[in-house]
Structure 1
């Protein structure tokens, strides 16, 4: 196969396939999506290895994004060790393809793993490491500042959290459309880094943080508004942040609303089989147990328990 064919048809096809795979990941279990992503990563690496420049480097950069997404699906499946391995593989592939910025984004991904382990210190440190180079694109810096804010919220540090959120908003506002790509703004094979389904990531992360900081009423107001803006077909994002909204309602003592929201999300949670969603589902169960005599809680708990048992299998 000629270099021209690789560049004009093969790489764009893999680029389109990447977007399709991410859409699949919004509605399917990681156990379904991850093997496909791994196969695509290996195939793209093989193609890149047979190609000449600049196709080789473009192929390796795209393979790096596949590997990074494999890391996310591994984390969603509950395998943090595999998530870290695939994230490291993504950095290696990106470096070989001339993208030296993905290493910073990998720190943001590692910080997310620490966040779900409720390790505030590690979350903050990894997110700060990602922000140390002024040469890092503004989008990655902004995503790192968001993750730092979540770490500060976990540590109950309101002022530091707000400063990090303000910095994230400034950086993401500064990020021009071309900075959404990995290396080259004219490259046809560079997918957007971070979420592509949330229109205002800083706003929804602010709601997330406010809940952690014990400001549930403020969190609910923001999450209600921002979740309504997430596309209906972005099931994973809607369920992930929807669980956070239900948790905020539970923490605020809105038992009826928390139960109603949770029940609506259970079917999607079962289908997605997401470790991050399950983590919040467990927190909801613990929080609602305070009102174990409530009729709404008693009605929900058998379904909630069955869902947790199903996703644990």
Structure 2
């Protein structure tokens, strides 16, 4: 039974009843809503009955899916604020909560029970690698992910010192391949295994190994931030980006903090927060670090997009895109793997996004149609950019083509667990509703209702 105070339990129950009412009013069943929230059906059922707590990301997604205007997350925030007041006014009982943002009794992205949402357990080791896992806060691992996590731990024990750094570096490269092929939910357990190993090992590492180990940890933490972003969980994404900056600074890798600002700028794009997106990109570019040419190109491109979203003239946007292109031309001189994925093809697609935001959708569509191919992009990335292309097709009054492009993206986005792509598909769904009588659009809307 929950140990939460009675009034908090009542608030949780009321919030669950409200979710159930809004879900039914929007025409969703628990089974059809669950995959869109990235939780399981049983989690939705338990939340509606007030039996289970979930993180703020769940309520944010429910508000977006059910189009509530933020009503659910507002109630959740009030409930959490009251719970904190109760905690402060009463004596603390038991051990403190694990570190990390927004800690609640939460579930993994598909509703299975993670390691971190249990109470104190005397069977837990007081030290060692598993103890390091328990300090990861938002990095909740599902039980059937443990085989992948322990594969990292088991193999790592064969290595010491500099060999461990090389092993983790190679493991991180394999995680990147896992993400491209299978999506974030497959790659995330191994990445979290790497950051746990770094966190555990760095305390006793020799001085000559400590900095390289932290540098690997910084890259792994930044990658974890990206994976959580793609899973649609902004709070742990921010946590791991901040951890990446901290470790990178200690490792004297001063490019990563600037790179992290670019990644935060990209997350602002997910929310269509143009001012924040522009400000973070400018901060990355103008900060007290020397960024590789590829990273500079990405930062300047983000600035161009932010300016376009704020209504800046096309000439100024184009001048900034040219500057980004000039930086990218210097990328061959980079002596780092940071942002190695950022190439001329990706820049073209991002240019199309800028064109779409600056009132040139026809030119944007031309770039999309000449660039987006499965030979170049992973299935997940192709689905994401095809959805942005579909949004632009609506702007040039081609709703049937938009619906067809997006319909092809639904399966890949769902299979990869890319909530970021699903969020763009829901944006498109709203834009296509005026044409719902057309067969292609009707089919897309039907599939979205059954995702």
TM > 0.5: yes
> By how many angstroms is 1:99 displaced?
0.6
Deviates further, 51-60 or 92-101:
51-60
What is the alpha-carbon root mean square deviation over aligned residues? 2.3
Task: Evaluate the alpha carbon distance shift between residue 261 and residue 167 of structure 1 in structure 2; reply closer, same or farther with a 3 A threshold.
Answer: same
| TM-score, reference length from structure 2 | 0.61
Superposed displacement of residue 229, structure 1 = 7.0
The CA deviation at 1:177 is: 4.4
Partner of 2:20: none
Q: What's the offset of the Cα at 1:44?
A: 2.6
Q: 1:103 aligns with which of 252, 257, 265?
A: 257
Give yes or no for contact 2:161–2:206 (8 Å, CA) kept in 1.
no
- After TM superposition, give the deviation of residue 172 of structure 1 in Å: 1.7
SS at match of 1:249: helix
Relative to structure 1, is the Cα distance of residues 279 and 195 closer, same or farther in structure 2, using a 3 angstrom cutoff? farther
How far 1:292 moved relative to its partner?
1.7
Contact 1:197/1:237 (<8 A) preserved: no
- Aligned mates of 2:206, 2:370 — CA distance in 1: 49
1:145-294 equivalent positions in 2, closer than 5 A:
145-157=300-312, 158-179=314-335, 181=336, 192-194=337-339, 196=341, 199-228=344-373, 231=376, 234-294=378-438
Q: Please give the TM-score of this superposition, normalised by the length of structure 1.
A: 0.85
Query: What do the CA deviations read for 1:20-64 (whole angstroms, capped 9, x no partner)?
Result: 111211243534432331121111333344332432211111110
Deviation at 1:12, TM superposition (A): 2.4
Instruction: Tell me the residue number matched to 1:77.
Output: 231
SS in 2 for 1:200: helix
1:54 is paired with a residue whose SS is: helix
Number of aligned positions between the proteins: 293
Q: Distance in 1 between matches of 2:320 and 2:243?
A: 29
Please give the alpha-carbon distance, in whole angstroms, between the structure 1 residues aligned to 2:230 and 2:262. Answer: 16
Residue 190 of structure 2 corresponds to 36
Q: Which has the higher helix share?
A: 1
The residue number in structure 1 matching 2:268 is 114
Distance (Å, rounded) in 2 between the aligned partners of 1:296 and 1:149 = 34
Structure 2: stretches of 5+ with no match in the other structure: 1-155
Secondary structure at 2:393's aligned position in 1? helix
Check conservation: 1:269, 1:277, Cα contact below 8 A.
yes
CA contact (8 A) 1:239 1:268 kept: yes
Q: Distance in 1 between matches of 2:416 and 2:340?
A: 17
Question: Aligned match of 1:56 in 210, 213, 218?
Answer: 210
Report if aligned partners of 1:67, 1:89 keep a CA contact under 8 Å in 2.
yes
CA deviation profile, 1:247-277 (whole Å, cap 9, x unmatched): 2222212222222211211110111222321
Partners of 1:281 and 1:79 lie apart in 2 by 17
* Kept in 2: contact 1:37–1:70 (CA 8 A): yes
| Aligned-partner Cα distance in 2 for 1:199–1:45 | 36
The whole-number CA distance in structure 1 between the counterparts of 2:256 and 2:247 is: 10
Question: Does residue 303 of structure 2 align to residue 128 of structure 1?
Answer: no
- Bigger-Rg structure (1/2): 2
> Is residue 10 of structure 1 aligned with residue 164 of structure 2?
yes
Question: Helix, strand or coil: the match of 2:359?
Answer: coil
Structure-2 separation of matches of 1:210 and 1:12? 42
Contact kept, 8 Å, 1:58 with 1:97, in 2: the verdict is yes
Between 1 and 2, higher relative CO (CA 8 Å, sep ≥ 6) is seen in: 1
SS at match of 1:131: helix
The C-alpha deviation readout for 1:137-185, integer Å capped at 9, x for no partner, is 3222221111112212222323332222111111121233434x1xxxx
CA contact (8 A) 1:219 1:248 kept: yes
